[in-house]
């Protein structure tokens, strides 16, 4: 069965609802790189990213009913949970001012990843491609807000733009990504 | 928060880029508005894919810790 096909996603969900331990290992092995990657990118802190990764996966193990396969993919949902965790950590620790130092350290940790699942690499390339298709006006505020865990007000300050402009560019950029992913990534999965 | 105010915040809301109080107001509106709920789901799905662009493999120790914490039978933890 093709990982991340609609059938695979729903079957995995059913197995998790039944409390199957091997299903949890399958979920982890398929998506750990995404969950850890988001958390590491947002927090720039390995320990925090590991803790977030553990929290996200154990939450799914304990409450698989919170995932609704009719509303989206496991990959997207897990990335969203990891992002929430990362943003919470960044804001709680007020770590934004330390990012420059932390990112220098991060550069050494994030070496190319030979053990990574091929699917993850392809998906990453696909998403990077969709992001690269956006205009700079849309891509930049999305990248800063998402990967640096900043509020739109902070993004507006960083880019010297009105807050309303940042709000509308992020919204339209996400719509453009959704349109592109509908036709390309999701189309491949069904 | 009215519909127009909430809908213009939907993009930043799904990116976790609102202040907490503002996010709570958007969430309250989204829970009662079909149009905003549909749009938020669609934008959230797109934002979730952003995470796929930066994968990083965690340590084997983390895998053992997480599977162990979920009560995974010991023999299965190092099996893959």
- How crowded is residue A101: how many other Cβ atoms within 10 Å of its Cβ? 10
pLDDT at B68: 92
pLDDT at A187: 44
Summarize the confidence of residues A3-13 as an average pLDDT. 87
Chain A residues whose beta carbon lies within 8 Å of the beta carbon of residue B8:
164, 167-168, 171
Q: Which residue of A has its CA nearest to B39?
A: A175
For residue A111, is pLDDT > 50? no
CB contact under 8 A, A170 and B17: yes
A82-96 residue pLDDT tens: 999 999 998 887 645
Interface of A with B in 108-167 (CB under 8 A): 109-110, 113, 115-116, 120-121, 123-124, 126-128, 130-131, 142, 145-147, 149-153, 155, 164, 166-167
Summarize the confidence of residues A106-122 as an average pLDDT. 48
Higher pLDDT, B55 or A113: B55
pLDDT at A34: 93
For residue A102, is pLDDT > 90? no
């Amino acid at each position: 069965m093709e990982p991340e096909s609609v059938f695979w996603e729903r079957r995995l969900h059913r197995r998790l609802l039944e409390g199957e331990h091997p299903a949890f290992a399958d979920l982890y092995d398929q998506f750990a790189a995404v969950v850890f990657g988001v958390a590491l990118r947002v927090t720039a802190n390995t320990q925090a990213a590991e803790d977030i990764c553990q929290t996200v996966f154990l939450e799914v193990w304990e409450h698989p009913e919170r995932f609704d396969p009719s509303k989206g993919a496991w990959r997207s949902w897990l990335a969203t949970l990891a992002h929430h965790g990362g943003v919470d950590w960044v804001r709680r620790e007020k770590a934004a001012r330390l990012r420059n130092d932390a990112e220098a350290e991060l550069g050494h940790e994030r070496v190319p990843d030979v053990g990574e699942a091929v699917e993850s690499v392809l998906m990453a390339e696909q998403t990077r491609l969709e992001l690269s298709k956006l205009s700079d006006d849309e891509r930049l505020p999305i990248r800063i807000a998402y990967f640096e865990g900043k509020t739109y007000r902070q993004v507006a300050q960083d880019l010297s733009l009105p807050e309303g402009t940042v709000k509308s560019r992020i919204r339209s950029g996400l719509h453009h990504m959704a349109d592109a992913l509908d036709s390309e990534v999701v189309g491949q999965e069904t | 928060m009215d519909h127009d105010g909430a809908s213009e915040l939907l993009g930043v809301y799904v990116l976790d880029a609102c202040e907490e109080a503002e996010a709570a107001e958007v969430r309250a509106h989204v829970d009662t508005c079909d149009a905003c709920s549909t749009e938020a789901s669609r934008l959230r799905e797109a934002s979730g894919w952003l995470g796929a662009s930066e994968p990083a493999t965690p340590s084997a120790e983390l895998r053992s810790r997480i599977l162990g914490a979920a009560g995974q039978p010991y023999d299965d933890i190092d099996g893959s």
